[in-house]
Chain A
Amino acid sequence: MTLPSNHYGQNNFGAVDGYAYAAQLSTRVSARLLRDAQGLRLVDQAGETLCTGAPSERERISGGPCLMTFGTAWTFDTDDIQGVELLLGPSDDDWLSSLEVWHPRLFAVVAGCLIGVLIIWKWGLDILVAGAIALTPTGFVSTIDTGNLAAMDRFLTAPTELSQSDQDMVRDIFAAIKDHAPYAPYGDYTLEFRKADVIGPNAFALPGGTVVVTDALVNDFNDPNIIAGILGHELAHVSERHSLRQLYRSLSVYVLIAMMAGDVGPILEDVLLEGSALASLAYSRDHEASADVIGIKTSHAAGYDPAALAEFFEQLTEDYGESGPEWMSTHPSNAERIETIKKLAAEQ
């Protein structure tokens, strides 16, 4: 708020003391900005005029000095903020400075920050992710599949060593599941076999619809019902665009936090980063749970026994154990998944 007295003070006679510096010279000149019968001007201690007229620029950060520029020739700084306001009137960006003043109003600003973060967290990120997904061209997603498959073949996987009959069996299941799976957003679902001992009995889906099944999975779990359940789960990841969502979400979160990094300070930044890492794990667990639900519906519709998937996880727990505390994991705990699967399978 600007007091009326500040306004009518604008053309008052008066003076403020400070230091002046000529352009490109460190020499400090004790000076005074003065308005008298001869007008507004900057004078040095001896009374010599350094320059005349109003400053071309004037700047002040709350709690700091007032800095003025007189064309390209002089700068002038002073701590006498009151004096400057009386001499020159309030400055242009006063609204910002007055918002920053120590005042109970700042409680509202703090609350605004918390609410803002909450809104971004709850809806803003989803809107960003949805927007990015809408803008993603189909061809781009298929390229992700080919690119990643090429990279994995180079560093992680080897050609399959499965027998032709095993492959045919899985292909038949895949065809049946595909017919009952939700719509494939980025072109038809395709099946690949790879030998990848480091990841054990496993299957994963690339965002464009390529599903990779490891040899170990087919060898260790040669049960059509289990394979159908797993394929149903993987196709659900594709139709729900889970990997794209995770990619876009983690990118947006990182960029948002990096933008704010300088402002929140190093400790809060670490808290934010750790917190968002944990939250993205929870996000991933939600995706797994939802893929389980959709996958069970799909394999049931295709004529397989969805409860078989529970056996798979029971066997997995027996062979490999639980993989650490759930909150540190990208997947829900096996125990929890077994329970959900049994419940859902019973409902079908």
Chain B
Amino acid sequence: MNKDIWIIAEHFENRVRPVTSDLVAFARKMGGEVKAVILGHPVKPLAEDVAQKTGCEVTGIDSPGAAVYNSEVYRNLIKKLCERNQPRYLLVPHTPLGWDFAPALAVDLGYSSISAVTDFNPENSTFIRQILNGKLLEELKSPPGCSAVVTVMPGSANPEPDNTRPPGSVKILEFESPPVKTRTIRYLPAKPGTVNLKDAEVIVAAGRGLKVPERIELIRELASLFKRGAVGASRPLCDQGWLPLEHQVGMTGATVSPKLYLACGISGALQHTMGMKNSSLIVAVNTDRKAPILQVAHFCVNTDLSKFIPVLIKNIRKFRG
């Protein structure tokens, strides 16, 4: 085993996805030699793009089976590469693609497996990750002498601007497609919605703290007081059918950055904050003084939303005259 850190680049429809740069930045923070691996068909233009943007040495694995993502193909081909030259860490983005193959790949390789890390502590070579929806953190390490597959939460490191380093070298390896049982049939783009969260200036977002669906009316009323106000939601509200899916904010919903984001009864799980943390002003209304949403909120009203929101509505009306 050597000390290399390999990152698995992610791409979609012939474009390298920005999460790849996050991963490179995370790996560089860890120290050591950082190399990028990308799978595809044809892979050369993608590999060159990664080398150009990040300055990493890139290995492109070209295989007809890797034209679109398939977990079995990815596992099989990455395993082949690791058997030639075992890295210390294999970093994978914690995305619907990465979390899919990473744990199984760790089993295939006999590596340890650490998922959804948000930070690295170089002093002890440890990884930090959230547990219990962000109420606690834990610190883990891959035992000395053992390689690890690690999935990294998008946004866990600030990427350098593209093209700031001299381009890295590119090596293309051609591998045969392995036989697979799983078949990827097609991609279904998101259904277009009628709610345009992206253009809203103010998003009043509701979470499980609402407790009863009737309170959505309060949220609607508050949002309607702003010229370009819209109603957002955490995932559980959409899962329960209280609001249509198009209101969902977060990893599996919309990514938004309004001028004002009012998070009402939302705990602030990473999957939610990933979609709204760049809003200009974030205000949380939450009964829990320690809710993880406070890690991203600028202001917090530590009060029961069912009491506070009616008073806020009344005061905004009064102010508007």
Asked if chains A and B come from one complex, the reply is: no
Residues of A within 8 A of B (CB): none
| Interface, chain B (partner A; CB < 8 A) | none
